[in-house]
Chain A
Amino acid sequence: MTEMVYGAVPVRDGEPILPKWWRTIDKWSMSCVLILFCVGLLLGLAASPPLAAKNGFEAFHYVQRQALFGTFALIAMLITSMMSPTLVRRLAVLGFVAAFVALALLPFFGTDFGKGAVRWYGLGFASVQPSEFLKPGFVVVAAWMMAASADLNGPPGKTWSFVLCISIVLMLALQPDFGQACLVLFGWGVMYFIAGAPMVLLVGMAALAVLGGTIAYANSEHFARRIDGFLSADVDPTTQLGYATNAIQEGGFFGVGVGEGQVKWSLPDAHTDFIIAVAAEEYGLILVLVIIALYASVVVRSLMRLVRERDPFIRLAGTGLACMLGVQAMINMGVAVRLLPAKGMTLPFVSYGGSSVIASGIAVGMLLAFTRTRPQGEISDLLSRGRSR
């Protein structure tokens, strides 16, 4: 790492890739992600047949597709996690540029699938949501800029990354996709926080976020409707939230039984945004708590591993990726239990969605690459202790 920063010639590592990968990877987090993916397939079996029936496919059409995309995602995750942080950074920057252009061109070539927001590219066999791929790329780019700004004579990376962040947020808000916009803003904020943001600024930013939300509420009907639905004490029985709440209540501790759930027939987004409601109804509180624990352990474990990280870029990028994953999961589940206003946000790995699951795979691959065990100069720390420089 030191060599990388100073641009010295990299020394080729003598150890073969796989054994080293296995020795240094965070096996617990990886297991959690694999389990989450399996849970996603299991819930897909429950949640997607109604959609398949509606679209005239055989019952498990979407499960098969999810398994296919999931395999791609897992492969992408494994390959990414084997890369060195430098390689990850280089590829991520390239990917970010591609995704950024794709996002910018969305208004001209994108489609809205009749959902009121232009977020996708229809590719015939699948649809791609560029913002899903943009998020991890942006985290890496922003982390790179912030880390560079910390150097002597470094570029003003924090400002650059902020400008980049705001431009992305604006593009997303115009789609409109306030969920992803919030996520990007949040990711940048977390990295800035870790990179040593002054406290005054953090408070100011929180105020700005509130202000922005208010303006969005006042000017966007799409946004206002969802906030209103959240704020009103009554659940309209025919809204998605009403059905989701009812499903969670029906489920109780152990669920109504596999395949016995009803909510998937009523909710148009049962296989994506409200998959947690399907989980709660059919498998009960138990499975929901397991899912929450899995996400929490991935996020918290990664953060704890990054505490010891010496390289600022890796620390920042890892933090950004872990927090984005955690917050996305939290928002999705928070909406279903009415802690948060309704937003279209998928549950990473669990929700159905080709580009979502592949993008999540790449993001977690990067996270795993960043949290791998590597020498952190413990010996030099020991030696330097007491030595005055």
Chain B
Amino acid sequence: MIRTPLRPLARILDARDKGENPDAIERENIRIRHEQMRDQARQRAEGRLLVLGMFFVVAFSVVGLRMGLLATSEPQEPRVDGPGAQIHAARADIVDRHGSLLATNFDTHALYAQPPQMIDPVHAAQELAKIFPDLDAAELLEDFTGTRKFLWIKRKLSPEQMQAVHEIGDPGLLFATRDMRLYPNGQLAAHVLGGASFGKEGVTAAEVIGVAGVEKYFDDYLRDPANGSKPLQLSLDLTVQAAAEQVLYGGMKLMNAKGATSILMDVHTGEVVSVVSLPTFDPNKRPQPAVSGAASDSPLFNRSVQGVYELGSTFKIFTVAQAMDLGLVTPETIIDTKGPLRWGRHRIRDFRHYGNEMSVTKVIVKSSNIGTARLAQEIGVERQRAFLGKLGMLETTGFEIVEAATGRPLLPPNWSELSTMTISYGHGLSTSPMHLAAGYAAIANGGYKVQPTILKTENPPKGERVFSEASSKASMRMLRQVVTEGTASFGEVAGYAVAGKTGTADKPGSRGGYYEDKVIATFASVFPAHDPKYVLIVTLDEPVETTGDEPRRTAGWTAVPVAAEMIRRVAPLLGLRPTVEPLAVSDIKLTSN
């Protein structure tokens, strides 16, 4: 840039010659220079001012826009959580197969405090401690006078407690509305229902989430507002469930057992009409999970699906049914039962000696381990394994309560021929009573696999055929004879033609081996035998019957009478009329032949 000097020499000299003040020239030049600079600065500032103006327009627009967004969004009470989905407290009811309420919701209130709004914290703390004896006045006062601005005091209030808090009259004590899960039947079906607790909590509502049982398994369904609070209908029958629990509880006490479970299942649909596990609890006040001791000692433990036991001789009928289905034997085939049966270093014995040979029917009726093991030898490892797999004995049951997923059968690590022989009479393979119920349902319904379910199902598709109708019929006749002339003679209930099989398994000790005096006694029964409708499993944990000379622990003396009493009570409730059992037609044929 070419700039004229402030004191151009030629003009200065010229001015001096003329006698003018040369400073005037400098001043004039400075003025012109300033004008130039000022114009430059102004041009530059023009652009920058426009940028600044734009910035303000944009910034104010952003504030306005944000204000608009906020103003058009839904107002809600300030919450502890961040903005997100609203809390849906609505939870569908749970009803039994006839529509009776098993679980419902109840409007209640939670109590919270806003200490800054309190008038008299000392009085409030004292009065609260009087209303709720578990609260400590000193601690409350500390909270009320400290820096806290918000605290929950009680999660659930009864109307009386709420009125009492009202009467304290402190504006800093406030109530939040709550939907509380209520189980009006108390302990009934506790293990099926499980329980619920609060999830996300807000001032206007709190989420109710299932913590166990169907409440947890169907949590998404129950909480889904799209279902329009349509209740979840279970297959349970409330009256049958009540009767079953009562009988089983009495039986458990009489037989001095430490636990018991029973399952009543429809043999065709797999619907579980009643399922009991004792000891039980109240889902309204669900106890804390046990932190010490065996999990199975906690009342929360659901023996029907979580308790995997070696169920003993009840398994024999599966072996016999398969042997008949494969055409290896007929009910009259004579089996060598000379004991003990040696296999390597192992010996298989019977409870008592029943003679050196007997028919297949007798093997079941007398419950011969040796006879069953011989049949298993004939069947072989692979075929037995495939058969039990088809019956669903090797996987979890898929029963719709969350605990069922933990009831995985315990298989032998190496399924040898010896395993096959022991499994044939129910040792070496541990399953839950629910597995057993499903297996017996298949025996009873003509050979179709059954999927146990807790939901009411009208006409479920028939399961896969596991064995033939004829084998099923023949097995049922044998099971009937177990009751009429075998180990389960106490199981006879007039008019209901009970069929079934006992099983007494020594409990495995905690350090390997088996206890001598602790058993799991099981009676797997089907009734009525001539037209099977229901299967009932009764399992007692460590029963001992002491009315005789020596303590008796076998299922015939313990589980069978309990099951019989239960059938006597629940069969009329299930709508079954007592009938006269038709004479076994095949028996007549056999004799005429």
Contact = CB atoms under 8 A, between A and B. Distances in A.
A249 B75 contact: yes
Interface in A310-361: 310, 312, 315, 319, 323, 326, 330, 333-334, 337-339
Contacts of B72: 252-253, 285
Contacts, number: 142
B576 interface: no
Nearest to A292: B64
Contacts of A326: 56, 59-60
Contacts of B57: 296, 300
Given A237-B79, A300-B56, A312-B41, A248 B71 contact: yes
A151 B82 contact: no
Nearest to B40: A196
Contacts of B37: 150, 152
Contacts of A315: 42, 45, 49
Contacts of A280: 67, 70-71
Nearest to A311: B38
B67 A292 contact: yes
Nearest to B64: A292
B34 A151 contact: yes
B163 interface: no
Contacts of A310: 38, 42
Contacts of B60: 292-293, 295-296, 299, 326, 330
B381 to A, nearest CB: 60
A232 to B, nearest CB: 8
Nearest to B31: A6
A317 B38 CA distance: 16
A299 B67 contact: no
B63 interface: yes
B149 A238 contact: yes
A288 B53 CA distance: 21
A160 interface: no
B179 to A, nearest CB: 21
Contacts of B4: 389
B52 A193 contact: yes
Contacts of A306: 49
Interface in A237-266: 237-238, 242-243, 245-246, 248-253
A289 B76 CA distance: 23
B424 to A, nearest CB: 63
Nearest to B53: A303
Contact of A237 (B30, B59, B78): B78
Contacts of B68: 285, 289
A9 interface: no
B230 interface: no
A295 B59 CA distance: 11
A243 B79 CA distance: 11
A233 interface: yes
A293 B67 CA distance: 13
Contacts of A330: 56, 59-60, 63
A237 B64 contact: no
Given A292-B64, A300-B53, A303-B49, A337 B59 contact: no
A319 B49 contact: yes
Interface string A280-305: 10001100110011011001100110
Contacts of B203: 237
Contacts of A151: 34
A337 B70 CA distance: 7
A233 B83 CA distance: 8
B77 A237 contact: yes
Interface in A196-215: 196
Nearest to B202: A237
Interface string B430-451: 0000000000000000000000
Contacts of A13: none
Given A234-B82, A242-B78, A339-B63, A389 B32 contact: yes
Max chain A Cβ within 10 angstroms of own Cβ: one of B4, B59, B70: B70
A363 to B, nearest CB: 16
A326 B63 CA distance: 12
Contact of B48 (A193, A252, A338): A193
B80 A289 contact: no
B36 interface: yes
A303 B51 CA distance: 10
Contacts of B75: 246, 249-250, 252
Contacts of A243: 78
Interface string B352-381: 000000000000000000000000000000
Nearest to A303: B53
A151 B36 CA distance: 11
Given A150-B41, A300-B56, A310-B38, A333 B67 contact: yes
A79 interface: no
Contacts of B82: 233-235
A6 B33 CA distance: 13
B175 to A, nearest CB: 16
B67 A303 contact: no
Given A310-B42, A389-B32, A337 B63 contact: yes
Given A245-B70, A303-B56, A339-B66, A194 B45 contact: yes
A194 B67 contact: no
A307 interface: yes
Nearest to B51: A193
A182 interface: no
Contacts of A389: 4, 32, 36
Contact of A334 (B36, B63, B76): B63
Contacts of A300: 53, 56-57
A190 B71 contact: no
Contacts of B149: 238
B580 interface: no
B514 interface: no
Given A235-B78, A243-B78, A296-B57, A289 B52 contact: no
A319 B72 CA distance: 35
Nearest to B78: A237
B244 to A, nearest CB: 49
Nearest to A299: B56
Nearest to B32: A389
Contacts of A235: 78, 82-83
Nearest to A337: B66
Nearest to A249: B75
B64 A234 contact: no
Max chain B Cβ within 10 angstroms of own Cβ: one of A5, A248, A295: A248
B74 interface: yes
A237 B34 contact: no
Contact of A246 (B44, B46, B77, B81): B77
B41 A190 contact: no
Nearest to B66: A337
A246 B78 contact: yes
A238 B150 contact: yes
Contact of A288 (B32, B56, B67, B78): B67
B171 to A, nearest CB: 12
B73 interface: yes
B396 interface: no
A330 to B, nearest CB: 6
A238 B78 CA distance: 8
Interface in A25-44: none
B49 A237 contact: no
B62 interface: yes
B48 A194 contact: yes
Contacts of A304: 49, 53
19 contacts: A194-B45, A194-B49, A234-B80, A237-B80, A238-B78, A248-B70, A250-B75, A252-B75, A253-B71, A253-B72, A284-B71, A285-B67, A289-B64, A289-B68, A303-B52, A312-B45, A315-B42, A315-B49, A334-B63
9 A-B pairs with the lowest CB-CB distances in the bound complex, closest first: A237-B78, A249-B75, A238-B149, A234-B82, A296-B60, A285-B71, A242-B78, A337-B66, A303-B53
Given A234-B80, A238-B78, A251-B71, 8 more contacts: A234-B81, A248-B67, A252-B72, A253-B72, A284-B71, A285-B68, A299-B60, A330-B63
